[in-house]
């Protein structure tokens, strides 16, 4: 932790060390107005954001390991009010012109002029003080995905709702949301307010179901949303409910204490912790029921490309056809005689590469026992 200086803090993230050093040196003239922190990766930036108060995040998008998109997705969940400036090389004036139309996003084009960076920082800090800007929105995030030709799967959550968007090369291929698929699912998800974003760096769909462009879908989604809001407002005007008496209103506070993780998040954290510490586990990947990669081991992981749904769908079909009973686990042996274990625990699908000599069923039993304990 650092001393409290009373100055606002700016965190700049880029994987080019010399570039970061040049920016930090150039900004020293303003050290009495704001302090500068730097990080060379998204992973390092997340560690700093967890440990220190930061007033402004400035990040590149293309970085190894944890890139700028994953960092921005993390901020939507953990620091939704944190102002963001994106540094990127757009390549064409057309893309640059389209980005200027995104009100919620400030961006800086590389190669970067120090004067432009200084102006952007002062503008953002001044706007933050007046509550003019807040963290990156889902619509802005999706447009950046398209412009940077990103391939991945996004899990979008709003309260207890969840949906999935599948991108390949910046093109929105498909969407899933509460029984909806394709266009209608995408329209539903895009219009969500205060959405939280998780990113799986693999596109988990092959077929292109959505034919409309992302730009068209964004415009149409918000048109539909406005029409719905107007209809609901008209209904409320006709029959406005009586306000709650003060003593009853206190039983239903408007704000929920979000300082404690949800039971689902706490359970997932415990599972990752157990898998990370188990001496028999060499690598692991954790998926949700839709095949979205929720977590993985630190360092290299050869399991994140795995699609458990392909295997579990076949197994469930055999269970029904042959009356095998409920699925317990699956053991796969590689050509080098390494064992991989696939099993379900709670709402998760777990794939584990075992240390040689470990018994798969025993490891699974130990993991499940540790979670229950």
Write down which residue in 224, 255, 275 finishes a domain. 224
Please state the separation of Cα 177 from the chain's center in Å: 17
Residues 333 and 354 in one domain: yes
- The residue from 224, 249, 281 where one domain ends is 224
Number of folded domains that form the chain: 3
Q: Is residue 243 part of a domain?
A: no
| Residue 332 neighbours by CB under 8 Å, 6+ apart | 339, 340, 341, 342
My answer on whether 219 and 274 are in the same domain is: no
Closest CA to 198 of 134, 260, 284, 265: 265
C-beta of residue 107 within 8 angstroms of C-beta of residue 99: yes
Same domain, 92 and 197: no
Retrieve residue 60's tokens: 């590149």
* Claim to verify: residue 72 and residue 150 sit in the same structural domain: no
169 and 72 together in one domain: no
Residue 1 lies in a domain: no
3-state secondary structure of 131: coil
* pLDDT for 260: 59
| CATH number for the domain that contains residue 318 | 3.30.450.30
Nearest Cα to Cα of residue 42 among 21, 70, 20: 70
Q: What is the pLDDT of residue 338?
A: 83
Judge whether 342 lies within some domain: yes
Q: In angstroms, rounded to a whole number, what is the distance separating the alpha carbons of residues 289 and 296?
A: 16
Q: Look at residue 2 in the predicted model and tell me its pLDDT.
A: 43
Q: What is the pLDDT of residue 180?
A: 95
* Phi/psi at 36 (5° precision): -115, 130
The per-residue pLDDT for 71 is 95
* Mean pLDDT by groups of 10 residues along the chain of 373 residues: 68 95 96 96 96 95 89 92 84 50 67 92 79 71 90 94 96 96 95 92 92 89 80 65 48 43 79 93 92 90 85 70 71 83 88 90 88 72
State residue 277's pLDDT score: 93
271 and 321 in a common domain: yes
Last residue of a domain, one of 103, 136, 169: 136
Instruction: Mark whether 108 and 165 lie in a shared domain.
Output: no
Helix (H) or strand (E) holding 115: helix 114-129
Q: How many residues does the chain have?
A: 373
Peptide bond into 182 cis (omega under 30): no
CATH number of the domain enclosing 131: 3.40.50.2300
Whether residues 283 and 342 fall in one domain: yes
Query: Is 288 domain-assigned?
Result: yes
- Please report whether residue 205 resides in a domain: yes
- Do 36 and 130 fall within a single domain? yes
Residue 245 falls inside a structural domain: no
Instruction: Please report the pLDDT score of residue 110 as a whole number.
Output: 85
For residue 187, tell me if it sits in a domain.
yes
Residue 251 lies in a domain: no
**Residue 115 and residue 21 in one domain:** yes
Residues 65, 20 within the same domain: yes
Domain range enclosing 168 = 144-224
CA distance 290 to 308: 9
CB atoms within 10 A of CB 97: 10
Q: Please name the residue that has the structure tokens 């990040």.
A: 59
Q: Do 125 and 189 reside in the same domain of the chain?
A: no
Per-residue pLDDT, 153: 96
Instruction: Give the start-end residues of each E strand in the chain.
Output: 8-13, 34-39, 56-60, 84-88, 106-109, 152-158, 161-168, 171-177, 180-181, 196-200, 281-287, 293-296, 329-333, 339-345, 348-354
């Amino acid at each position: 932790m650092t001393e409290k200086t009373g100055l606002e803090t700016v965190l700049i993230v880029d994987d080019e060390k010399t570039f970061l050093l040049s920016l930090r040196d150039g900004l020293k003239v303003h050290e009495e107005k704001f302090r500068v922190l730097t990080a060379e990766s998204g992973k390092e930036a997340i560690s700093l954001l967890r440990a220190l108060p930061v007033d402004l995040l400035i990040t590149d998008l293309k970085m190894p390991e944890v890139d700028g998109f994953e960092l921005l997705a993390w901020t939507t969940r953990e620091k939704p009010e944190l102002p963001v400036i994106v540094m990127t090389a757009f390549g064409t004036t057309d893309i640059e012109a389209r980005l200027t139309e995104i009100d919620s996003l400030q961006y800086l084009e590389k190669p970067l002029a120090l004067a432009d960076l200084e102006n952007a920082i002062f503008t953002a800090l001044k706007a933050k003080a007046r509550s003019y800007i807040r963290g990156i929105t889902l619509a802005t995030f999706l447009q950046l995905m398209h412009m940077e030709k990103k391939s991945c799967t996004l899990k979008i959550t709003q309260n207890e709702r969840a949906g999935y968007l599948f991108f390949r090369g910046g093109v929105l291929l498909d969407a899933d949301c509460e029984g909806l698929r394709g266009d209608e699912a995408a329209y539903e998800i895009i219009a969500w307010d205060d959405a939280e974003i998780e990113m799986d760096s693999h596109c988990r769909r092959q077929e292109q179901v959505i034919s409309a462009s992302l730009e068209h879908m964004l415009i149409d989604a918000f048109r539909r949303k406005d029409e719905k809001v107007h209809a609901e407002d008209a209904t409320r005007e006709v029959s406005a409910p009586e306000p709650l008496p003060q003593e009853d209103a206190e039983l239903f506070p408007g704000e929920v204490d979000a300082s404690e993780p949800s039971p689902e998040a706490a359970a997932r954290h415990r599972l990752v912790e157990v898998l990370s510490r188990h001496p028999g586990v060499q690598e692991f990947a954790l998926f949700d029921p839709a095949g979205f990669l929720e977590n993985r081991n630190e360092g290299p992981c050869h399991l994140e490309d795995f699609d458990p749904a392909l295997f579990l769908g076949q197994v469930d079909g055999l269970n029904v056809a042959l009356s095998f009973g409920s699925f317990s686990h699956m053991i796969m042996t590689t050509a080098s005689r390494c064992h991989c274990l696939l099993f379900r625990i709670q709402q998760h699908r777990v794939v584990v590469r075992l240390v040689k000599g470990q018994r798969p069923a025993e490891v699974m039993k130990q993991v499940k026992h540790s979670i229950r304990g």
